[in-house]
Amino acid sequence: MNLSQLAEQIAQQDAMEWIGLVTGVLYVVLATYEKPSCWLFGILSSACIAWKSFTDYHLMADVVLQLFYMSIGMYGLLQWYHGSASNDKKPIVTSPWRRHLVVIFGCMILSWPLSWILIHYADARYGYVDTLLTCLSVWATFLLIRKDLHNWVYWIWIDALYLVLYWKTDGYLFALLFLIYALISIYGFQRWKISMDRQEYIRNID
């Protein structure tokens, strides 16, 4: 496929996909700047992606994931907004590497039975990979709400793999969305790392 063919297919995508793309980008950009309003755009983007994943791409685990994003987005909004309203901004933190290893291993094990169910009863494509990414995305979302620096590391890899899945299922606009997500996640990691180092510096002075 050449670039002109890709551009033609992207131009033919419907309004739901464009809304999902624009609001999704706004969500990630605002998250890098630690803005509570990011969660509102994330909820809208997830609704659009869930609909297209169900009706067009048959990525059933991703449908479940997007519905989870919509519900957890409300929780994230309350958590971040509470800190902003009280002028007590949630600090950026990190988790022990052993905890990440345990969670990743647990996600790999849990994905086997879940993917079998989705493949046999929901006509899911790329069952195991799709399900594994779903489980890791749930964990990464909780890290984002907690403002754990390493949530961005998860998103870089998750977004890169979703890019491949949507490309292979002809979801070129969403593939572009996840490419943008991955690039912004790299920026988000760098920005949060600087912010965390600054808060550590201020703490040490105090």
What is the C-alpha separation between 121 and 60, in angstroms, rounded? Answer: 10
Contact yes or no for 19/40 (Cβ under 8 A): no
Using CB atoms within 10 Å of the CB of residue 18, give its burial: 0 to 12 exposed, 13 to 18 middle, 19+ buried.
middle
The model's pLDDT over 39-48, given as tens digits with 9 standing for 90+, comes to: 999 999 999 9
Distance between CA atoms of residues 149 and 196, nearest Å: 8
Distance CA 76, CA 43 (A): 10
- Give per-residue pLDDT as tens, 143-165: 999 999 999 999 999 999 989 88
Q: What is the pLDDT of residue 1?
A: 52
Higher pLDDT, 5 or 181: 181
- The answer to whether residues 173 and 21 touch, using CB atoms and an 8 Å cutoff, is yes
Report, in angstroms and rounded to the nearest whole number, the Rg of the chain calculated over CA atoms: 18
> Average pLDDT of the chain?
84
- Predicted structure pTM score: 0.82
Please report, for the chain, the start and end positions of each structural domain, with discontinuous segments joined by +.
Answer: 15-86+93-205
Confidence of residue 206 (pLDDT cuts 50, 70, 90): very low
